Amino acid sequence: MEITKHLFSNLSILIILLLFCLIWLDRSRKFNLSKTTIIIFFILLLWICIQFSYNPVVFARYDLRIIPIVIGGLYLGIGLILVVAMLIIRSFYGIDMGLAGTAVLYIPLAIAYFRLSPWFWKQSSDRRITIAICLGIILGILTLAGMEGILHTSSNWFDAGFAYLVIPPLGIGLIAYSIEYIKKSVEIKHQLIKVEKLKAVEQMGAAISHEIRNPLTAASGFVQLLNDDYLPRHKRREYLSIVKEELNSAERVIQDYLTFAKPALVSIEELNVKNELRQIINILTPMANQNSVEIITDFSVIGFIRGDRQRFRQCFINILKNAVEAMPNGGQLYLETHFSKDYITICVRDTGVGMTPEQLERLGEPYYSTKGKNGTGLGMMVVYSIVRAMNGFIRVESVIGSGTTFRIKFPTITSFKKHES
């Protein structure tokens, strides 16, 4: 069984090379290789087949050149190039009867490939594998006939028969199957990417509407207050300026929505925490009143941090809005700040519904919301992303039924440093 043994070793080399090639392709994630690279790879395969062939007599070489020729010809349409390359390579090993036989067998095939390859691609995946295997069997039979019938190179019919009728179709089948499998998974991957992109666009839409809704709700609350005919002039002016500020804020949210994906702080400035929080309370007061929520504050005297004003506001509007929403039947919302040398801690405590440990665990997860249609589950994600971008930390404690406490710590700029700069 010398021929069988040699062809099996040929097959294992081919499969190992193919495996390396696949791993490399997967690593580089580059599936549209240039045609030249592919042709060079297949010529290399042919050379390896011929180099490691079994040649009991000088002019005969038993090897698996059928496999690259069939696969390359059918799948890649490079049959003619491969046949020419193979004849050239083979001629280096002697210009003899074997070479002539190879030419007689493969030149017509190379010409036939021009028709065969386009037709081949119109077939279904399973049929393509079958066609490749059949072509391998036909070539095996013809090679065998040539070798045994004309050249009389082997006396062991069984060995040659087994080697040429089993191994090439087996190798071709394996490789064709892997190609089809990879092709299918690449297609699925592309489809998935498309679906993911669509989903991202949808989510972005949801996020924008969520973040726009906050300032618009506040603005519309003030517009309602403006309806009052007996409103003093100075109040009217104040409300109008808040409405204007809120509308501007909505516009800014659209402009820098991408903060949430990539929390780059745009305009870093020194923020007076107390003043900022007062402004935020102003914005949220109408909503709190509507829900019969009393806002109780206790601010430390000083406290400056570094950050982006717009985002700081967004962060606390989201936290406070959640707190108000957690108290549908009213309650108290405590807002405190504590100042230390290195940190300022902002503490937001509500007497609302609270969260279970599971809910607490999932807090900040994108699109996690327990509010059904009224929630988008983006508010806390934004909060976490902004706090992280400002080098802060968040700690949350919650007891179901009695309330939630958010502690947000930011590094401070001490008043000393402030005056220095």
Task: Please tell me the total number of residues recorded for the chain in this structure.
Answer: 421
Q: What torsion do the CA atoms of 153, 158, 163, 166 make, to the nearest 10 degrees?
A: 140
Q: Is 353 in the site for ligand ADP (CB under 6 A)?
A: yes
Contact status, residue 292 vs residue 352, Cβ threshold 8 Å: no
Kindly tell me which of 12 and 402 has the beta carbon lying closer to ligand ADP. Answer: 402
Find the shortest distance in angstroms from Cβ 325 to Mg ion.
Answer: 7
CB atoms within 10 A of CB 213: 14
Kindly tell me which of 322 and 345 has the beta carbon lying closer to ligand ADP. Answer: 322
CA-CA distance, 22 to 178, in Å (whole number)?
A: 9
Q: Is 375 in the site for ligand ADP (CB under 6 A)?
A: yes
Contact status, residue 132 vs residue 172, Cβ threshold 8 Å: yes
Q: Which does 79 bind (CB under 5 to 8 A by kind): Mg ion, ligand ADP, none?
A: none
Angle, in degrees to the nearest 10, between helices 309-325 and 273-290: 30
CA-CA distance, 350 to 360, in Å (whole number)?
A: 15
Helix (H, G, I), strand (E, B) or coil at 402: coil
List the one residue out of 283, 295, 371 whose CA is nearest residue 331. 295
Find the shortest distance in angstroms from Cβ 18 to Mg ion.
Answer: 53
Kindly tell me which of 275 and 370 has the beta carbon lying closer to ligand ADP. Answer: 370
Exactly one of 52, 368, 407, 411 binds ligand ADP (CB under 6 A); that residue is 368
Exactly one of 271, 350, 386, 390 binds ligand ADP (CB under 6 A); that residue is 350
Structure tokens given for 365: 């997860």
Q: Is 359 in the site for ligand ADP (CB under 6 A)?
A: yes
Contact status, residue 61 vs residue 90, Cβ threshold 8 Å: yes
Q: Is 370 in the site for ligand ADP (CB under 6 A)?
A: yes
Find the shortest distance in angstroms from Cβ 406 to Mg ion.
Answer: 12
Q: Is 203 in the site for ligand ADP (CB under 6 A)?
A: no
- CA of residue 312 relative to chain centroid, distance: 30
Alpha-carbon Rg for the chain in angstroms: 37
Exactly one of 79, 146, 215, 379 binds Mg ion (CB under 5 A); that residue is 379
Q: Which does 355 bind (CB under 5 to 8 A by kind): Mg ion, ligand ADP, none?
A: ligand ADP
List the one residue out of 229, 225, 222, 259 whose CA is nearest residue 244. 222
Q: Is 323 in the site for ligand ADP (CB under 6 A)?
A: yes
Kindly tell me which of 175 and 320 has the beta carbon lying closer to Mg ion. Answer: 320
Structure tokens given for 76: 């890649």
Contact status, residue 214 vs residue 280, Cβ threshold 8 Å: no
Q: Which does 371 bind (CB under 5 to 8 A by kind): ligand ADP, Mg ion, none?
A: ligand ADP
Kindly tell me which of 65 and 321 has the beta carbon lying closer to ligand ADP. Answer: 321
Find the shortest distance in angstroms from Cβ 191 to ligand ADP.
Answer: 30
Kindly tell me which of 338 and 362 has the beta carbon lying closer to ligand ADP. Answer: 362
CA-CA distance, 158 to 369, in Å (whole number)?
A: 71
Find the shortest distance in angstroms from Cβ 375 to Mg ion.
Answer: 6
Exactly one of 379, 394, 408, 409 binds ligand ADP (CB under 6 A); that residue is 379
Q: What mask, x for binding Mg ion by CB under 5 A, covers residues 263 to 302?
A: ----------------------------------------
CA-CA distance, 3 to 274, in Å (whole number)?
A: 88
Structure tokens given for 99: 């070479």
What is the chain's percent helix, strand, coil content, to nearest 5?
65, 15, 20
Residue 258 phi, psi (nearest 5): -65, -5
CA-CA distance, 276 to 160, in Å (whole number)?
A: 88
Find the shortest distance in angstroms from Cβ 82 to ligand ADP.
Answer: 60
Find the shortest distance in angstroms from Cβ 358 to ligand ADP.
Answer: 11
DSSP state of 54: B
Q: Is 352 in the site for ligand ADP (CB under 6 A)?
A: yes
Q: Which stretch binds Mg ion (CB under 5 A): 136-144, 374-382, 386-394, 401-409?
A: 374-382
Contact status, residue 300 vs residue 272, Cβ threshold 8 Å: no
Q: What mask, x for binding Mg ion by CB under 5 A, covers residues 322 to 361?
A: x---------------------------------------
Q: Which stretch binds ligand ADP (CB under 6 A): 22-30, 119-127, 157-165, 345-353?
A: 345-353
Exactly one of 171, 331, 377, 392 binds ligand ADP (CB under 6 A); that residue is 377
Sites of contact with ligand ADP (CB under 6 A): 318, 322-323, 326, 350, 352-355, 359, 363, 368-371, 375-381, 404
By CB under 5 A, name the binding residues for Mg ion.
322, 379
